[in-house]
Amino acid sequence: MVAGPCSAESREQMESVCVALARMPQVSMVRCGVWKPRTRPGGFEGCGENALRWIADIRRQMADVKRENGAGVLQFCCEVARTEHVELAVRYGMDAVWLGARTTANPFMVQELTEALRGTGLLVMVKNAPSPDVRLWMGAIERCLRVGVREVVAVHRGFDIFRNEGLRNSPLWEVPIELRRQMPEIPILCDPSHIAGRREPIASLAQTALDLGFEGLMIETHPCPERALTDSEQQLTPAQLAELLRSLVVRSTDSVVADEELRVLREQIDQIDSEVLQLLAARSRVAERIARVKREGNLAVFQPKRWDAVLHDRMVQGQEQGLSEEFVRGIFERIHAESVRVQEKAIGQPDAEAERRE
């Protein structure tokens, strides 16, 4: 469990949050942004080296604070985006650093940073890039492993996409699930704060992450969120964090313990999925025939009015069946994109049936 403010803002703010977090046995590491990459210039840019000085002092003051349940001493991490940041993080005794989303998106920068991280012994957390490209995320992790970073952890902070369903970033859980499949040895933390962008959805996102077998969480915590200089809407107070930690349930993701009822239900799911696939294949074959008719009639593959009517109709049907609007919309946007692809392909190909007739 990593918690702490979006940005280190003052010595008092950091002391206050560290004292509160030290009382929570689940929290092993304090996070804080020291250099803040802002989307637009002119805002608060972080306190830089001063913040690292406060942290080093706080660490000394807290060295003999006894933590509950045998929890070890608090560790500290910050974001690094330039090689000088890595040098300063080492000089001030940070335990870990993270690569921010915008850094992971840039392999040039990741390469430079990993060269600077070589031999430092720092634990490195790699946030996913803003685009839902699992290879960029894996690439940054691989660059860390190649320079011999021994502890590399992935952090899922959601993705900037077209439709985010009331959240700041879309979780697109399938991306970290794919990362887990491709790199099973890399622990994954979820950062529900940046996914949510506001306080209310954080608890349920955190629970979903645990249910998916994520190893931990990174949650922004500020002694007074309404006065925070960055990400004020999404930070929790230490009391809210403690309440959230009490509410989380850790369940087994090891299906070896599955019982008979689960086995029977899974068989039903397998059968339904197989029917879904057969129907999708049948739909694609009809789309191919439609493509030929459109070609004869000199009609464009994409017909906006028809698509609007189809989407509207499927959303109404979905609602009648108790399916969520986002789900039905997402599925049909994907199905329609595939239909367009299939039709484009079919239009470019000679019509096998017509050729046989000739």
Token reading at 175: 């991306």
Q: Report the nearest approach of Mn ion to the CB of residue 74 (Å).
A: 20
Output 22 or 155, the one with its CB closest to ligand PEP. 155
Q: Report the nearest approach of ligand PEP to the CB of residue 15 (Å).
A: 20
Q: Which residue is nearest to ligand PEP (CB)?
A: 100
Enumerate residues 188-207 that contact ligand PEP by CB under 6 A: 194
Q: Report the nearest approach of ligand PEP to the CB of residue 100 (Å).
A: 3
Name the residues that contact Mn ion, by CB under 5 A: 6, 231
Output 214 or 332, the one with its CB closest to ligand PEP. 214
When asked if residue 58 is in the footprint of ligand PEP (CB under 6 A), the reply is no
Strands 75-79 and 123-127: unpaired
Q: Report the nearest approach of ligand PEP to the CB of residue 8 (Å).
A: 11
DSSP 170: B
Q: Report the nearest approach of ligand PEP to the CB of residue 106 (Å).
A: 12
Give strand pairing partners of 217: 190
Enumerate residues 60-119 that contact ligand PEP by CB under 6 A: 100-101
- Give 110-169 as a DSSP string: HHHHHHHHTTS--EEEEEPPSS--HHHHHHHHHHHHHTT-S-EEEEE--B--S--TTSSS
Output 96 or 328, the one with its CB closest to ligand PEP. 96
When asked if residue 6 is in the footprint of ligand PEP (CB under 6 A), the reply is yes
Q: C-alpha dihedral over 190, 214, 52, 24, to 10 degrees? A: 100
Output 36 or 143, the one with its CB closest to Mn ion. 36
Output 51 or 328, the one with its CB closest to ligand PEP. 51
Name which of 291, 302, 295 is nearest 333 in CA terms. 302
Q: How many residues does the chain have?
A: 358
Q: C-alpha dihedral over 335, 337, 340, 341, to 10 degrees? A: -100
When asked if residue 157 is in the footprint of ligand PEP (CB under 6 A), the reply is yes
When asked if residue 168 is in the footprint of ligand PEP (CB under 6 A), the reply is no
Q: How far apart are CA 68 and CA 25, in angstroms?
A: 6
When asked if residue 33 is in the footprint of ligand PEP (CB under 6 A), the reply is yes
Output 32 or 242, the one with its CB closest to Mn ion. 32
Q: Report the nearest approach of Mn ion to the CB of residue 49 (Å).
A: 20
Cβ-based neighbours of 98, under 8 Å, separated by 6 or more: 31, 77, 78, 79, 80, 124, 125, 126, 127, 155
* Stretch (H or E) spanning 179: helix 174-182
Q: Which does 127 bind (CB under 5 to 8 A by kind): Mn ion, ligand PEP, none?
A: ligand PEP
Find the binder of ligand PEP among 59, 85, 127, 222 (CB under 6 A). 127
For binding to ligand PEP (CB under 6 A), which residues are involved?
Answer: 6, 33, 100-101, 127, 157, 194
